Amino acid sequence: MTKPVLICPDDPSLLDRLAGQSLGLRVAPSADVAATVEAVRRQNGLFRLLVEADEPLAAVKPNHAWRGLPVDLMVPSAGRFADLAGRLDEVRSLGITVCLPIGGTGLRDARTLASLGIRTRLGLDGMPDWDALGDLMTYALLELVAHAPIEPFQTIADHSRTDARTTDWSSALFDDPLRFLHLSADGRIALSRRDLLNEEFVGDLAMLGSPALAEAQQARSEAWRQLFLDDHPCARCPGFRLCRGRYAEGDAKGAGMAEGCAGFFTEMAGVLEQRWLRPEARPW
Amino acid sequence: MVTLIVKPSEACNAACVYCEVDRKGWLKTKIMAQDTLEMLFKRIDEFLTARPQETIRIVWHGGEPLLIGEPFYRRVLAAQRQLCAATGRRVCHTVQTNLTLFSDEFTEVFRALGITSLGTSYDPVAGVRLLRGQNSRAYDAAFLAGSARLERAGFDWGVICVVTRLSLDRPLDLFHFLTNLAPQGGVMFNPILLDKGKQPHLAIDDKEFSAFLGAMFPVWWANRQRYPRVEPFHSLTETILSGGRRQFYCTDAGQCADTHIGIGPDGAMTHCGRSGDWGLLDYGSIHDRSFAEVFADPRRAELRRRGEALRAGACRDCDTWSLCHGGCPLDSWDATGSFHGKTAWCDNRGGFVKTYFEPITGIRVKLLEGA
C-alpha cells in the first residue's frame, strides 16, 4: 500500500513526530506559511496547504507566501462580488484552489469563480440541492466557453474515461482512506475528514505503517460492498458507479438513500458520455 | 478452439437450491487423482501435437473447483510443464467458481497458469444460493469477500446470474445490481435449467425468460457504452450486426460436436459440463480413449447432422436461425433421446429478436441464409 498523505494541523509538537511523511497542512490564513513550509520541507514532503478561513473569499487577504505552493483556500462563500472584483487578478495569479461548501451560496459561487478562471473544489458532504448541483455539474463538464475546473467533477470526468469500473473520486476531496489519513492535533488518526470532525478515530501515530491500520484503511475503502450484502437501494441504483454509495446513509435524520442523489448521478453518467463525444458530434 | 470442461471434483461447499450436483447427491469429496491429471495433459499434448493450429481452453469447473485447494493447481501447472512442453503455450485456463473460497493462496498459481479473469456466479435474490448448512447471506458475504480479494490481487471477474421464477419480477434491479457489482468483467443472465417437472417454484419457460430480458434490453441498448459486456445482449447484437458470422455461445453456435468435451474427476468423458451434470452421453474414460476418438464417436457425427435436420424440419421457416442454430442439442436429447429437435428455449432468441430487439433498436434482422 502506498504511504498515505497525512492531513494534519500546523502544530509544531505534532509535526515533530511526523518526520518522513507526506503532509497536507491545515493552517490559518494568518499563519507564517513561509517558515512553516520551510520547516516541513526539511523532513517531510508537502502535499498541499489547506488554508482554513472563517471569512468569505472577498474578505480574506491573500498571502503572497502562497505563490508557487499548492494551496486550497477553504472559505464559507465567495462573498460580495463588488468586494472581490478588485482582487480577482491577485487570486488568479496565486494559482490557488478555492474550496466551497455545497450549502448557502457555494454552488453559485463555484460557477462564478470558475467562469472567472479560478479553480474551485466543492465539499460534497451533506445533502445539496441536487437540482442546482446538477446544473453546476452540467456547466462544469459540458460548457464549451472557457472556465476553470470545478472539483470533484473534473476528477470524476478524468477517471470515468479511463476505465469502466466504478469511479472513486474520494481522492479529489482528500477522503480516500488508502491515500489520505486525517490527524487531530494530539496525533489521533481518522479515516476521513468527517470522521475527524465526529472524533471517530482508528488509532494514534503509533499505528502508522502497521498492518492493523492498513486493514482498517482497506476495509473502509471497500465498505461499499456492504451495500450489496444488505441489498441496499444504492446497490440497485443506476447512479452507483459514480457515487459508490456515498449518500447511502441519507440525511441527518437517517432517512435512507437521499432523495435526488440517484437522479443526479444517473444524469451525470449521461453527461459524461456526452463529454466523451467530440464537440462536433454532440447533439447541441 | 477446443474447450475442455474439467471437473476436478464434484464436491461443493454450496447448496444452491437448483443445483444438480447437490440434488444428485454427488457430494463425495473425490479429487482428480494424479494419474488422471497426468493423463489429461498427455491427451492434450497428443491432440495438439497432431493439430499444430489448434488451441485448447480448459475450464476448471465443478462442484466448486477451489474447494480442492491451491496444491491441486500447482500439480496442474507441473503436469502441464512436464507433459505439454512443446504444446503448453497453446493451452489456456479459466476457472468457473462460486468465489466463496478464493484466498490469496490461489493468486500465484493462477497467474502462473495465465489466468487473468475468473468466472463466478451470483444471485442477488435471497434464498437461491446457499452455503452448506447456512443461509444465502453467508454465501453473499463469502462471495463479496472473495471478490474483494480477487480485485486486490488484480484479477478481473465476470458473473453469471441464473434467472429463476424468484427473479422474474426484478429484471432492472438485477441488471443494475450486477453491473454495479462487476462493472468490468461482464454480466451474463442465463435461464435456470431443470429436469422436466422438477422444482416448479423455480422453473421458468422461454417466453418468461425472453420477457425478463426484454425488460432490461431498452436500458442496455440506450446505455450500451456504459454497460458493454452484459450478456446475452452484447453477443446477440454483435452476431446480428455481423450478419451471423460471429461466434455466439456454445448453446447457439451449432458447433459443439467439434469443440467441447466434459471430463469428470475420475476421467470419465462426456459431451460437456451440462451433459455431465445430467448423466448424458458417456464417451468412456480418458484413460482409454483419446480426444480424437471422442470427436470421432458416432454420436458426434449425429450431432453434426443436426443442423441439416433442423433446417429441413422444425427450424425451416425461421429467419433467425443463425442466432441459435436450434439451440443446445442437449435440450433435445434430454426431451426426446434425439439430437434432432430444437431447443425448448426457442423464444429466447428468435422471439426476443422479433418482440424486443427489432422494435427497440429499429434494426431489421436479416441474417445469412444457412449461416
Q: ipTM score of the complex? A: 0.90
Omega prior to A152 cis, within 30 of 0: yes
B305 — pLDDT class (breaks 50, 70, 90): very high
Cβ within 8 Å of residue B140, ≥6 positions away: A228, A229, B122, B129
Cell of B86: 512443446
Radius of gyration of chain B (CA): 20
Q: What is the mean pLDDT of residues A213-220?
A: 95
Hey, what long-range contacts does A146-149 have (CB within 8 A, 24 or more apart)? Answer: A146/A117, A147/A114, A147/A115, A147/A117, A148/A113, A148/A114, A148/A116, A148/A117, A148/A118, A148/A119, A148/A120, A149/A114, A149/A119, A149/A120
Please tell me the distance in Å from A123's CA to the nearest CA on chain B: 25
Q: What is the mean pLDDT of residues B334-356?
A: 84
Collapsed DSSP state (helix, strand, coil) of residue B158: strand
Give the span between the Cα atoms of A150 and A137, in whole angstroms. 8
Over residues B78-132, the pLDDT tens digits come to 999 999 999 999 999 999 999 999 999 999 999 999 999 999 999 999 888 888 8
Q: What is the pLDDT of residue A252?
A: 43
Nearest chain B residue to A240 by CA: give it.
B180
What residues of A are in the B interface, CB distance below 8 Å? 163-166, 218, 222, 225, 228-229, 231, 235-238, 240-241, 269, 273
Collapsed DSSP state (helix, strand, coil) of residue B187: strand
Give the span between the Cα atoms of A148 and A97, in whole angstroms. 10
Over 80: is that where the pLDDT of A220 sits? yes
| A163, A225, A231: residue with CB nearest B184 | A163
* Highest mean pLDDT pick, A116-120, A124-128, B325-329: A116-120
Question: Judging by DSSP bridges, how do beta strands A188-190 and A22-27 pair with one another?
Answer: unpaired
Which of the 8 DSSP states describes residue B227? S
Over 80: is that where the pLDDT of B361 sits? yes
Q: What is the pLDDT of residue B370?
A: 47
- Are B199 and B19 in contact by the 8 Å Cβ rule? The answer is no
- Are B297 and B261 in contact by the 8 Å Cβ rule? The answer is no
Contacts of B137 in chain A (CB under 8 A): 229
User: Which amino acid is it at B323?
Assistant: L
User: With an 8 Å Cβ cutoff, is B180 touching chain A?
Assistant: yes
Q: What is the pLDDT of residue A165?
A: 62
Cell of B332: 433435445
- Are A24 and A7 in contact by the 8 Å Cβ rule? The answer is yes
Nearest chain A residue to B138 by CA: give it.
A229
Over residues B258-302, the pLDDT tens digits come to 999 999 999 999 999 888 888 888 999 999 999 999 999 999 999
User: With an 8 Å Cβ cutoff, is B111 touching chain A?
Assistant: no
Give the span between the Cα atoms of B285 and B269, in whole angstroms. 6
Over 70: is that where the pLDDT of B366 sits? yes
- Are A71 and A96 in contact by the 8 Å Cβ rule? The answer is yes
Mutate to test the interface with A, among B136, B180, B219 (most CBs of A within 10 A): B180
Q: What is the pLDDT of residue B53?
A: 96
CA quadruple B339, B341, B345, B349: dihedral positive or negative?
Answer: positive
Q: What is the pLDDT of residue B190?
A: 93
Cβ within 8 Å of residue A261, ≥6 positions away: A130, A239, A243, A246, A247
Question: Judging by DSSP bridges, how do beta strands B117-121 and B156-163 pair with one another?
Answer: parallel
Q: What is the pLDDT of residue A152?
A: 93
Question: For chain A, what are the domain ranges?
Answer: 5-172
| A222, A241, A273: residue with CB nearest B180 | A241
* Residues 118 through 177 of chain B touching chain A, CB cutoff 8 Å: 124, 126, 137, 140-141, 144, 147-148, 152, 172-173, 176-177
| B173, B226, B228: residue with CB nearest A236 | B173
B21 — pLDDT class (breaks 50, 70, 90): low
Q: What is the mean pLDDT of residues B16-35?
A: 73
Q: Could you count the other beta carbons within 10 Å of the beta carbon of residue B19?
A: 17
Contacts of A237 in chain B (CB under 8 A): 176, 180
Picking from B367, B277, B281, B362, the residue whose alpha carbon sits closest to that of residue B324 is: B367
Collapsed DSSP state (helix, strand, coil) of residue B163: strand
* Residues 231 through 290 of chain B touching chain A, CB cutoff 8 Å: none
Q: What is the pLDDT of residue A259?
A: 65
Distances (CA, A) of A155 to A65, A151, A274, B293: 27, 6, 16, 58
Distances (CA, A) of B358 to A137, B213, B318: 35, 14, 15
Residues in chain B: 371
Q: Which residue has the higher pLDDT, B333 or A214?
A: A214
Q: What is the pLDDT of residue A70?
A: 93
Q: What is the mean pLDDT of residues B347-353?
A: 85
Q: What is the pLDDT of residue A161?
A: 65
CA B170 to chain centroid = 23
Please tell me the distance in Å from A269's CA to the nearest CA on chain B: 8
Q: Which residue has the higher pLDDT, B47 or B367?
A: B47
Over residues A47-71, the pLDDT tens digits come to 999 999 999 999 998 888 898 899 9
- Pairwise CB contact (< 8 Å): B148 & A225: yes
DSSP collapsed to 3 states, chain A:
CCCCEEEEECCHHHHCCCCCCEEEEEECCCCCHHHHHHHHHHHCEEEEEEEECCCCHHHCCCCHHHCCCCEEEECCCCCCHHHHHHHHHHHHHHCCEEEEECCCCHHHHHHHHHHCCCCEEEECCCCCCHHHHHHHHHHHHHCCCCCCCEECHHHHHHHHHHCCCCCCCHHHHCCCCCCEEEECCCCEEECCHHHHHCCCCCEEHHHCCCHHHHHHHHHHHCCCHHHHHCCCHHHHCCCHHHHCCCCCCCCCCCCCCCCCHHHHHHHHHHHHHHHHCCHHHCCC
Contacts of B169 in chain A (CB under 8 A): none
- Are A39 and A18 in contact by the 8 Å Cβ rule? The answer is no
- Are A134 and A267 in contact by the 8 Å Cβ rule? The answer is yes
Q: What is the mean pLDDT of residues A154-171?
A: 75
Cell of A248: 447511502
Distances (CA, A) of A282 to A107, A275, A279, B219, B291: 26, 8, 5, 21, 55
- Are A164 and B228 in contact by the 8 Å Cβ rule? The answer is yes
Over 60: is that where the pLDDT of B25 sits? no
Q: CA A204, A207, A213 angle in degrees (round to 5)?
A: 110
A-B contacts (CB, under 8 Å): 50
Cβ within 8 Å of residue A146, ≥6 positions away: A117
- Are B270 and B264 in contact by the 8 Å Cβ rule? The answer is yes
Give the span between the Cα atoms of B260 and B295, in whole angstroms. 9
Helix (H) / strand (E) element for B37: namely helix B34-50
Q: What is the pLDDT of residue A282?
A: 58
Average pLDDT along chain A: 88
Mutate to test the interface with B, among A159, A162, A224, A236 (most CBs of B within 10 A): A236
Give the span between the Cα atoms of B300 and B305, in whole angstroms. 9
- Are B285 and B202 in contact by the 8 Å Cβ rule? The answer is no
User: Which amino acid is it at B145?
Assistant: A
Contacts of B183 in chain A (CB under 8 A): 164-166, 241
Over 80: is that where the pLDDT of B173 sits? yes
Q: CA B223, B224, B230 angle in degrees (round to 5)?
A: 120
Over 80: is that where the pLDDT of B371 sits? no
Contacts of B177 in chain A (CB under 8 A): 228, 231, 235-236
Give the span between the Cα atoms of A242 and B352, in whole angstroms. 31
Q: What is the mean pLDDT of residues A127-144?
A: 92
Please tell me the distance in Å from A236's CA to the nearest CA on chain B: 4
Please tell me the distance in Å from A266's CA to the nearest CA on chain B: 11
Per-position b or e across A155-172, b if 16+ CB within 10 A of its CB: bbbebbeeebebbbbbeb
Give the span between the Cα atoms of A99 and A50, in whole angstroms. 9
Q: What is the pLDDT of residue A237?
A: 93
Contacts of A231 in chain B (CB under 8 A): 124, 126, 177
- Pairwise CB contact (< 8 Å): B144 & A236: no
* Highest mean pLDDT pick, A33-42, A248-257, B148-157: B148-157
Average pLDDT along chain B: 90
Q: What is the pLDDT of residue B346?
A: 81
Q: Which of B60-64, B68-72, B245-249 has the lowest mean pLDDT?
A: B245-249
Q: How far apart are the first and last CA of chain A?
A: 45
What percentage of chain A has pLDDT greater than the value 90? 61
Over 60: is that where the pLDDT of A256 sits? no
- Pairwise CB contact (< 8 Å): B140 & A228: yes
Cell of A243: 457515487
- Pairwise CB contact (< 8 Å): A163 & B228: no
Over 70: is that where the pLDDT of A254 sits? no
